[in-house]
Amino acid sequence: MYTVTVTSQLGNLDGAAAITVFTTTSGSGGDGEVPRDLKASQVTPRSALLTWKPPSASVGSYKLTYQTEGQEMQEVTIDSTVTEFKLTRLHPMSKYTVQLQGERGGSYTAAISTEFTTGNLRNPFPSDCSQELLNGMQESGEVEIFPKGRQGKPVLVYCDQVTDGGGWTVFQRRMDGKTDFFRGWKNYSKGFGELSGEFWLGNENLHNLTSMAPMTLRVDLRAGDESVFAKYSTFTVDTVRRNYALKVSGYSGTAGDSMSYHNARMFSTRDRDPMPSITRCAMSYKGGWWYKNCHQANLNGLYDTNVNHQGLIWTAWKGKDYSIPFTEMKLRPTSFTPPTQG
């Protein structure tokens, strides 16, 4: 058994150590029947590259399992022609145990194993995308965050690390009309869609994110070559018992203020309207939103619908009869100062 420790160095500063342990086979007896020399390399706080040598006797596939303390075991089936696999979305500062077996005709070979320890991060369990930016995530993309801390369930989100210094957790996007936003209460509570396309992150996640620290809301709107934005220095979504009521104020930007009209309103959907007015707004305007009587903004309405005020509306910019082709809603801690580049 061998133990290898790798550290990075910048000037007089040492980075966190990445540790891997591996066992080599003796090359005698039936060793040709099992995979050999399973090793972990390129270990980072969130990923590791596994490599191995194939057995001399062919296998139909490989079964790879890996686990760290306190987490469920993960299992991956790998094609028999592959001799490396990259593990991603790992937890920082965690010791992982990996086992690899070959499969032949429904039976599995003896397992070979290795261990490695992931490196450290400034924020090992980031609560939002601003902490992930401080961890070194410079490009926008998907990442796991932990709004309720290390022991809470992780949430996969899309981080905007470019706009206005980055650090934004995106919770809504409309861009092509491929996702239906005329949905019920449960869907809006849990969230729906694809992070790479159109989605709603979920009202429960919004409550968790906005209850941990004061948050700023940013709304980005695009139509052709035109781009505008609205920022609100106060943004909170209340509990489900209070029907995810909205608190929003402190407008600045170029889009005009269409969101303050909805301050203090409860969320409503086609199947649940906590305070119906003369008009059931969610049914009439085809979305889930913090409707009043009924809206000045309606970014979860019908895509590419320019009649009956049912489209993606931001009245202060384009009025109520123009459906905006691209919308993004995102949040960031109000106290956050983006790091300087360079």
For the chain, give every domain's residue range: 2-118, 129-333
Which positions ≥6 away from 64 have C-beta within 8 Å? 50, 75, 76, 77, 78, 85, 98, 99, 100
Give 49-87 as a DSSP string: EEEEE--SS--SEEEEEEEETTS--EEEEEETT--EEEE
SS3 130: helix
Average pLDDT over residues 122-134: 95
**Could you tell me which CATH number the domain at 129-333 has?**
3.90.215.10
Q: What distances in angstroms separate CA 224 from CA 175, 221, 325, one per listed residue?
A: 12, 10, 8
Average pLDDT over residues 36-54: 95
SS3 171: strand
- 2-118 against 129-333: fold identical: no
Q: 289-304: per-residue pLDDT in tens? A: 999 989 999 999 999 9
* Per-residue model confidence (pLDDT) at position 30: 43
Architecture label for domain 2-118: Sandwich (2.60)
* Per-residue model confidence (pLDDT) at position 157: 98
Q: 141-197: per-residue pLDDT in tens? A: 999 999 998 888 999 999 999 999 999 999 999 999 999 999 999 999 999 999 999
Q: 197-240: per-residue pLDDT in tens? A: 999 999 999 999 999 999 999 999 999 999 999 999 999 999 99
What is the rounded CA–CA span in Å between residue 297 and residue 312?
Answer: 8
Least-confidence region, from 23-27, 84-88, 149-153, 265-269: 23-27
